[in-house]
């Protein structure tokens, strides 16, 4: 189970969120069998999604982050609910690249920087909210900060880190977001900037044993911060047989008929968790009949 914690400055002008998402990213590696650099890329995106999802107000609200940068990993997707639970998927889970100039996993190289980050918030309204920004570097954290600055007009600092062991399992993974509200004073912004100058990288703080509470408070050092709230967050897929049936129905009667004519059991595999749902030709047939009935009634 991961742990997410938020803290707020005494004058309520800055909120900081920190999350230990080691378990979440470990599951991403297990499910998707990602190479190290893709574990880091998809892990970073999922950590950001968890923190952004947790900020949503409605119980059934969800947020989907999609990064398409033209790199060898292809498109990356992370979906989070308003409790900060997340699921993720990547087009090409195995990409091997040499370390970058800083000796780090080359996330920007795997993702590519020629493309966009799209943010879709489903808030239960007729139309979802969609924000699309060009990628800055494909390193994810900077791209997330850019999204907040341009699409939400909220100055945001984002730090994301995934440390992968030589055996490809995840040692630590986590991140933080600092959001500055419009009424924050210049002095307050200076304090944050100074805090960041001496802030160790996220994975270093975590390997040294700092908890999300301590990290959230450290980010707001000098602003008399208080802890606000906390949540347990996990890798969670909400797929079900019923949802899979709805997806099959959406293919339409014609497509279902041709599946039925193959006379074989159809296996539908969930992209996010790998769970398989099987449908016999008879089951496909009954779906087709209800699809046809729906069309007639429409
Ligand atoms: Zn699933």
Domain of 87: which CATH number?
3.55.30.10
The pLDDT of residue 262: 87
Domain span at residue 254 reads 241-297
Shared-domain flag, residues 139 and 6: yes
Shared-domain flag, residues 203 and 248: no
Q: How far is the CA of 262 from the centre of ligand 1 (A)?
A: 25
The pLDDT of residue 44: 98
Shared-domain flag, residues 100 and 190: yes
How far is it, in rounded angstroms, from Cα 104 to Cα 114?
21
Q: How far is the CA of 269 from the centre of ligand 1 (A)?
A: 8
The pLDDT of residue 297: 76
Shared-domain flag, residues 70 and 172: yes
Q: How far is the CA of 281 from the centre of ligand 1 (A)?
A: 23
**What's the distance, Cα to Cα, between the start and end of the chain in Å?**
45
The pLDDT of residue 195: 96
Q: How far is the CA of 199 from the centre of ligand 1 (A)?
A: 37
CA proximity to 70, closest of 102, 35, 108: 108
Segments of 55-190 assigned E as strands: 62-68, 76-81, 86-90, 116-122, 129-134, 156-164, 170-180
How far is it, in rounded angstroms, from Cα 297 to Cα 293?
6
Shared-domain flag, residues 259 and 152: no
The pLDDT of residue 294: 79
Shared-domain flag, residues 215 and 268: no
Shared-domain flag, residues 17 and 110: yes
Q: How far is the CA of 158 from the centre of ligand 1 (A)?
A: 28
Q: How far is the CA of 235 from the centre of ligand 1 (A)?
A: 10
Q: How far is the CA of 133 from the centre of ligand 1 (A)?
A: 28
Domain count, the chain: 2
Domain containing residue 271: CATH number: 3.90.1280.10
How far is it, in rounded angstroms, from Cα 63 to Cα 89?
14
Shared-domain flag, residues 104 and 19: yes
Tokens encoding 129: 């909210």
Shared-domain flag, residues 221 and 276: no
The pLDDT of residue 155: 92
Q: Which long-range contacts (CB under 8 A, 24 or more apart) does 245-250 make?
A: 245/287, 248/279, 248/284, 248/287, 249/287, 249/290, 249/291, 249/294
How far is it, in rounded angstroms, from Cα 73 to Cα 192?
34
Q: How far is the CA of 253 from the centre of ligand 1 (A)?
A: 24
Q: Model pTM? A: 0.93
Walking along the chain (298 residues) 10 residues at a time, the average pLDDT comes out as 96 96 98 97 98 94 98 98 97 96 95 97 93 97 96 94 96 97 93 96 97 97 96 96 93 90 91 95 92 79
Shared-domain flag, residues 141 and 267: no
Q: Distances from the Cα of 113 to the Cαs of 40, 136, 139, in angstroms?
A: 16, 6, 8
């Amino acid at each position: 189970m991961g742990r997410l914690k938020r803290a707020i400055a005494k004058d309520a002008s800055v909120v900081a969120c920190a999350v230990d998402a080691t378990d979440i990213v470990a599951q991403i590696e297990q499910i998707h069998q990602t190479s190290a650099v893709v574990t880091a890329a998809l892990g970073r995106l999922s950590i950001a999604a968890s923190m952004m999802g947790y900020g949503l107000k409605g119980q059934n609200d969800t947020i989907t982050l999609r990064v398409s940068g033209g790199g060898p990993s292809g498109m990356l997707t992370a979906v989070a609910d308003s409790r900060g639970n997340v699921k993720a998927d990547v087009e090409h889970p195995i990409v091997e690249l040499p370390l970058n100039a800083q000796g780090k996993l080359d996330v920007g190289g795997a993702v590519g920087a020629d493309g966009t980050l799209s943010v879709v918030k489903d808030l239960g309204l007729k139309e979802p909210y969609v924000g699309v920004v060009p990628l800055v570097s494909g390193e994810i954290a900077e791209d997330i900060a850019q999204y907040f600055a341009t699409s939400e007009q909220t100055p945001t600092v984002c730090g994301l880190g995934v440390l992968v062991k030589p055996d490809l399992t995840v040692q630590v993974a986590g991140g933080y977001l600092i959001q500055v509200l419009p009424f924050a004073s210049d002095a307050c912004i200076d304090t944050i900037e100074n805090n960041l100058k001496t802030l160790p990288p996220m994975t270093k703080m975590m390997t040294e044993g700092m908890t999300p509470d301590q990290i959230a408070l450290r980010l707001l050092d000098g602003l008399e911060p208080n802890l606000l709230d906390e949540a347990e967050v996990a890798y969670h897929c909400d797929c079900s047989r019923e949802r899979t049936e709805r997806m099959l129905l959406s293919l339409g009667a014609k497509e279902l008929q041709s599946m039925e004519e193959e006379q074989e059991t159809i296996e539908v595999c969930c992209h996010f968790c790998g769970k398989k749902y099987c449908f016999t030709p008879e089951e496909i047939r009954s779906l087709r009949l209800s699809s046809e009935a729906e069309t007639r009634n429409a």
